[in-house]
Amino acid sequence: MRKLKLLLLTLPVVAMNAAAQTAAPVTPVAHGGTSADGDEIYLTTDYTNDTTVIANPERGTIHQQELHATRKKKTYNLTKDEVGEWRTKEKKTLVRMNVYLEDFVNNPTIRESYIDTIRTNLNAIRDGGAKCILRFAYTDDSGKKPWDAPMDVISKHISQLKTEILDSHSDVISVLEAGFLGVWGEWYYTSHDGKTDRKAVLTQLLDAMPQNRFVSVRVPSYKYNVFDRTSADYTTETTAYDGSDYSRVGAFNDAFIASDRDMGSFGSNSREGGVKSDGADADRTFWAIDTKFGPMGGESTEPDKASDVNKFYTRTLTDLAKYHYTYINEEWYDGFVNKWKSTVDDKTALHPGDTYWNTMEKRLGYRFTVTGARITKTVGDVLHVEMDVRNDGYATPYNPRPLKVVLLTENGGSYDVAATLDATADHNAASPANADTDVRRWWSGATTKVSMWLSVSGLDAGQQYAVAIELPDEDATLARNDAYSIRFANVGTWLQTAGRGFNLIGSTTAASVADGIGSVPAVSPSASAPAPVYNVAGQRVAPGYKGLVISRPDAAGKGAAKKVVRR
């Protein structure tokens, strides 16, 4: 792997304690008002967009790691520190790991020392705060056969890898790319039957992964034709995430914009026959629709002529959006990568002066920005939280992820978790149904109104609570690791405490345990004293407090104009 250029993004921090920091002063502002149904709205929030690169899980530009079983090729192991540096300095949270099984083409058992090597690298990826895009193959040399192993050997290898690798490391495998067949595991230069063997490998890989995880294939027809369907049979909002094999097949493209048809990604039949494409236009339409509901990523490759870089690079941002890309490999092909890094994006940039590469770093996958939040007082122990979330990314998260509302209390400059409410498990049965709490359906280019009615009890009367949103990893091994929690693209709302990551959206006070969450208490400033101000969690602060504070309307000023004050 080549020597890396590391880019360090320095952000201002406000120290709370060693275990709890926020990236910048938060800017929520309290309002008064009433909702349409007459319930009191005791807090809404104004936000500032964050235009920096955010190291959010399972998305973005990536590095690649290769492992080789043959001693003829040098293999080195990743370390926790190296992966951690990629994450903190380059904001990379995915590593593509290509695992080559050269020594086992005719051996049904992978030697244990090589299994240990695979484990070592996956553990380093996990410990470094990232996840893996995993692929297995038997060679990376199209000029030398054999290109792959016999089917009975492949089947035994998949079974062994499931038992010894996939079952124990599914938490850190973001997506499995369907390799094993062909050079680089791309299913093209292969000695196997077109449809039968591809379907056998794909089905076994789907069975080897958890039922809510994806296995990706190289071209559109490897999905629809292998399953005896047509390009008109794409995934829909109804069939997405239903657990069926077909809905669990994602995509990857290792010839992104390298030619008019991405080096045969669109409109090509399998090399030896058997798998038939419905044509380039049909394939493009299929991927444009189907990739909305699953992983899509890859890399470019060397075009036929070096000058073709200038011809094709202009499609970059359009195609990334059209096909809902989540990740792109920085390490290949240099001609395109250098062009992306040197060309200013004057149409879709989130910040003036951003290059194509800057835009890719920010918009690959999802990018959630909260544009408004409302927390309303209801009858009984019910908390109603609404927020508007805009997705400026090209895609959505493809793996399931819980949505939690967290109430926090301030404790000597740090924060303690008082209550964690799950959007599903803690829904109040007597209230309206929750709406749009599945982050996989916070669609690209749209604003989603999320609504949660949650049962809450046991709060201390008069206690001030900060209200936050937590989007942790689904797997228990990573759920309390803030590296795997989604951060909203809002300035200063990110809060890290007790190993968890929260997005602060407001604050409130519990009037009494019996009444549940009450309204924000009104404050009446005296004629001789300045109006009191509060920190981002809602606590009143003394003069001289450093950071952003918020003003509150007085007792007679419900709905009065707000004012943000710097002190």
pLDDT mean over 473-483? 97
Cα–Cα distance between 536 and 29 in angstroms, integer? 9
Asked if residue 2 belongs to a domain, the reply is no
Last residue of a domain, one of 294, 327, 361: 361
Domain hosting residue 219, numbered range = 60-361
Asked if residue 567 belongs to a domain, the reply is no
Asked if residue 9 belongs to a domain, the reply is no
**Range in 19-28, 167-176, 432-441, 516-525 with the lowest mean pLDDT:** 516-525
For residues 486 and 56, is the Cβ–Cβ distance under 8 A? yes
> Do residues 66 and 48 both lie within one domain?
no
Last residue of a domain, one of 310, 329, 361: 361
pLDDT tens per residue, range 506-555: 766 554 322 333 322 222 222 233 333 333 334 444 443 333 333 333 33
Amino acid letter, residue 29: V
> Do residues 128 and 153 both lie within one domain?
yes
pLDDT mean over 399-409? 94
For residues 450 and 435, is the Cβ–Cβ distance under 8 A? yes
> Do residues 41 and 128 both lie within one domain?
no
Asked if residue 433 belongs to a domain, the reply is yes
> Do residues 376 and 348 both lie within one domain?
no
Asked if residue 202 belongs to a domain, the reply is yes
Average pLDDT, the chain: 83
- 95 — pLDDT class (breaks 50, 70, 90): very high
pLDDT mean over 439-456? 96
Cα–Cα distance between 438 and 398 in angstroms, integer? 10
CATH number at residue 297: 3.20.20
- 269 — pLDDT class (breaks 50, 70, 90): confident
Whether residue 127 has pLDDT greater than 80: yes
Asked if residue 483 belongs to a domain, the reply is yes
Cα–Cα distance between 535 and 524 in angstroms, integer? 18
Better pLDDT: 532 or 122: 122
Asked if residue 89 belongs to a domain, the reply is yes
Label residue 244 left, alpha or beta by phi (over 0 means left) and psi (-120 to 50 means alpha): beta
> Do residues 216 and 253 both lie within one domain?
yes
Q: How many CB atoms lie within 10 A of CB 164?
A: 16
Cα–Cα distance between 247 and 251 in angstroms, integer? 11
Asked if residue 408 belongs to a domain, the reply is yes
**How many domains does the chain divide into?**
2
Last residue of a domain, one of 331, 361, 391: 361
> Do residues 35 and 70 both lie within one domain?
no
List C-alpha distances in Å: 403 to 46, 472, 502: 21, 7, 11
Better pLDDT: 409 or 541: 409
For residue 223, the SS3 value is helix
Whether residue 558 has pLDDT greater than 70: no
Q: What is the structure's pLDDT at 270?
A: 82
Percent of the chain at pLDDT exceeding 90: 70
> Do residues 300 and 388 both lie within one domain?
no
Cα–Cα distance between 425 and 417 in angstroms, integer? 18
> Do residues 284 and 402 both lie within one domain?
no
- 44 — pLDDT class (breaks 50, 70, 90): low
Cα–Cα distance between 196 and 154 in angstroms, integer? 14
pLDDT mean over 129-143? 97
